[in-house]
Amino acid sequence: MTPDDPETIRGDCSFCGETVTGRHAIIHYETTGGDPGVWAECPGCGEIVDPMNAQ
């Protein structure tokens, strides 16, 4: 799957642990290091999260 595919798994919600996919993305950005990032709405709890950096 490509990064633009809505089914691409972006990571997990740091609040509830739900899997966040590309279809939940709100903002795509690039870090100062040139890496892609995304802010997304969790489909489980509705929180806005950075799923790639969820711990």
Q: What is the reported pLDDT for 36?
A: 86
Look up the pTM and report it. Answer: 0.79
User: CB of 22 within 8 A of CB of 8?
Assistant: yes
* pLDDT score recorded for residue 2: 52
In the chain, where the domains are located: 9-53
At 6, the pLDDT band (50, 70, 90 cuts) reads confident
Report in angstroms the alpha-carbon separations of 40 from 26, 35, 50: 5, 17, 6
Is there a contact between 8 and 1 (Cβ–Cβ < 8 Å)?
A: yes
pLDDT of residue 1: 43
pLDDT in tens, 14-52: 999 999 999 999 999 998 999 888 999 999 999 999 987
Distances in whole angstroms, Cα of residue 18 to Cα of each of 15, 32, 33 = 8, 28, 27
